[in-house]
A and B are shown apart, each in its own frame.
Chain A
Amino acid sequence: MPKFTRPNALADTPTHYCPGCTHGVIHRLVAEVIDEMDIMNTTIGVLPVGCAVFGYNYFNFDGVQASHGRAPAVATGVKRAKPDRLVFTYQGDGDLAAIGTAEIVHAAARGENITTIFVNNTIYGMTGGQMAPTTLPGQKTQTSPFGRDTEKVGFPIRVCEMLSTLDGVAYAERVSVHDAKHINAAKKAIKKAFEIQMRGEGFSIIELLSTCPTNWGLTPPASLEWLKENMLPYYPLGVYKEKQELTKGASK
């Protein structure tokens, strides 16, 4: 039996995440991949404004905190200065798909050689559960108390689908962390994206469907169930973009 231990890249610090929140799972996956690729010493993480704002405390590599939505621009600055490092952004849906839409679209369009770990939990977690660009039709939030009315506030943004139209994107995949099988698949996706970056092949994004038990008003197990029943149909999992010439060298 393999022993369950803490990855080297994950700091030995308690996190501030709510019980049952899957941000923690995603941190662990990133850290495990960095361990497996043995790149902790050359990794720089760019953390967002959002629940993951303290993320830099939870990893054992260098971290840069970005202003709300601008992580892709900050990561661009880091990467252009240090092109041989692994640079990733870690962003929520409010951060990436509302205030930071311009930055993510243009980093992707430039084929900026960075990776974005995009945590889609359909809500603004940190500020107390307001409607996000990814909030599902009919979903109740603090600022859509009667459910998201698409007639009045429009429709959710499917980020992987949108970005996959851009030539600069080398890899775009949507995964989920609601059960062990999907968590394993999510880890493979993150690894693939990091490998693509290390080979200098362009922009990669992994969208992870994630939970927010606190602001969804559900228990952690009910949150996982809610994700499966409501998010999976609206946000289908899969690879949305894989530059043809990449497939050969990529990990299975």
Chain B
Amino acid sequence: MKKTLMKGNEAVAEAAIRAGCKCYFGYPITPQNEVGAYMSAKLHQHGGVFLQAESEIAAINMVYGCAATGTRCMTSSSSPGISLKTEGISYMAGADLPAVILSVQRGGPGLGTIQPSQADYFQTTRALGHGDLHLPVFAPYSVQEMVDVTTKAFDIAEEYRTPVIILADGLLGQMMEPVSFDDEEVIEKPEKTFDWVADGHMGKRKKNIITSLQIESEELEQTITAREKRFEKLKANHTQSESVNCDDADIVIAAYGSASRVVQSAMEMAREEGLKVGTFRPVTISPFPVNAIVKACKNAKKVLVVEMSLGQMVDDVKMALEHKIPVEFYGRQGGFVPGPQEILDVVRRLK
């Protein structure tokens, strides 16, 4: 298949169009503006709608309304903007609405920096809005994987009736890599119909209501547990991760997204020195690949978690390993991406 050089943000937009995304609603924020720019130039060519909203709050609520009609749609933003979207995401989860949300992390808190960061792991996996909810989150590490998870995300969103999050960062969004798509051309997909949508009943069915309001506790509890059952099924079918050189590894380094790219290089350098080092990389950070990391670490004496934050995923790693293996952390903050040599030095000290 032909390869094209693309920025991560543009590649997500192109993959979304190819997946049949018909509406995009967004509000400008660095480092993800290429998504909106790409959509505004291309989406109409495929019968779609690009609309720049007055805020991230409006954008996510437009997505909510659009998704309520059963139309494939998405939004994208970065840290401060994702904070604003969280109420809307919670409503979408509560109303079982499918859509794709791309979060391209920058450094925080507050206005922080536009440099890449992984400081929103907690926000994305734990706190995308109030209420009892689990949302699927993909954390790709390359431009090609951004394309692959985007394609998948739209299908999963509809199959499980849930918002699906793609968590990237400024580095992945901005860097260019060769990517290929399944087909040479955009193949227009027939519009799907669903029995739950609020798109005007045409006198052909009973009216549908899209709402997250369930005032009776019995009813709400039932809905929440039914939704969680779907999430359990999603967990069984779509939890994804990658382990490299873990079988004989004394030290396993766990990292996701951009950090995992550097970790990969550090591991190769360590192997050249004869150090038995492997890597573990979750592709879904929610559901977290618990079984896979336990397996990857079965011979490990120590686990090192590397993140571009004060340490957030490290909690999930510790929980997954149930504190049976010592877990160390190394992180950089404020928009710094650690270098491979830096990580190698930490690994040497662990020995």
Binding site for B on A (CB under 8 A): 40-44, 46, 53-54, 56-57, 59-67, 70, 73-82, 85, 102-103, 105-106
Contact = CB atoms under 8 A, between A and B. Distances in A.
Given A67-B61, A67-B91, A77 B66 contact: yes
B68 interface: yes
Nearest to A75: B65
Contacts of A57: 209
B268 interface: no
A78 B88 contact: no
A65 B22 CA distance: 22
Contact of B62 (A40, A41, A59, A74): A74
A3 B54 CA distance: 47
Interface string B57-70: 11101111111110
Q: Which of A63, A75, A106 has the most CB of B within 10 A?
A: A63
Given A65-B209, A102-B55, A77 B63 contact: yes
B61 A62 contact: no
Given A63-B210, A78-B66, A80-B51, A70 B58 contact: yes
Interface of B: 22-23, 25, 49, 51, 53-55, 57-59, 61-69, 71, 73, 87-88, 91, 95, 197-204, 207-213
B302 to A, nearest CB: 46
B306 to A, nearest CB: 38
Given A56-B211, A76-B58, A76-B65, 15 more contacts: A41-B201, A65-B212, A73-B53, A74-B62, A77-B25, A77-B63, A77-B65, A77-B69, A80-B23, A80-B62, A81-B65, A81-B71, A102-B58, A103-B61, A105-B54
B337 to A, nearest CB: 36
B213 A61 contact: no
B58 A106 contact: yes
13 contacts: A41-B201, A56-B209, A56-B211, A61-B207, A62-B200, A65-B95, A67-B61, A70-B58, A75-B65, A77-B63, A81-B65, A82-B69, A82-B200
Contact of B22 (A41, A53, A81): A81
A79 B210 CA distance: 15
A73 B201 contact: no
A79 B49 CA distance: 11
Contact of B69 (A60, A73, A81, A102): A81
Nearest to B198: A62
B196 to A, nearest CB: 11
A102 B84 CA distance: 14
Contacts of A64: 64-65, 68, 198, 209-211
B213 A65 contact: yes
Given A61-B200, A85-B200, A103 B69 contact: no
Contacts of A80: 23, 49, 51, 62, 66
Contacts of B59: 73
A88 to B, nearest CB: 12
A65 B209 CA distance: 8
Given A41-B201, A65-B212, A70-B88, A76 B207 contact: no
Given A70-B88, A77-B68, A42 B54 contact: no
A53 B61 contact: no
Contacts of B71: 81-82
A53 B68 CA distance: 17
Contacts of B25: 77
Contacts of A44: 69, 198-200
A104 B64 CA distance: 16
A62 B208 contact: yes
Q: Which 7 A-B pairs have the closest CB atoms?
A: A77-B65, A77-B66, A73-B61, A65-B211, A74-B65, A62-B198, A77-B62
B201 A81 contact: no
A204 to B, nearest CB: 18
Contacts of B202: 41-42
A42 B66 CA distance: 16
A105 to B, nearest CB: 8
B285 to A, nearest CB: 26
B62 A73 contact: yes
Contacts of A66: 61, 64-65
A74 B61 contact: yes
Contacts of A103: 54, 57-58, 61
B198 A81 contact: no
B67 A77 contact: yes
A75 B65 CA distance: 6
Contact of A42 (B23, B200, B207): B200
Contacts of A77: 23, 25, 61-69, 73
Contacts of A75: 65
Contacts of A46: 65
A230 to B, nearest CB: 33
Contacts of A79: 65
B200 A76 contact: no
A64 B67 CA distance: 11
Contacts of A82: 69, 71, 199-200
Given A81-B71, A81-B73, A67 B199 contact: no
Given A56-B211, A65-B213, A81-B23, A73 B57 contact: yes
A81 B199 contact: yes
A76 to B, nearest CB: 5
B219 to A, nearest CB: 14
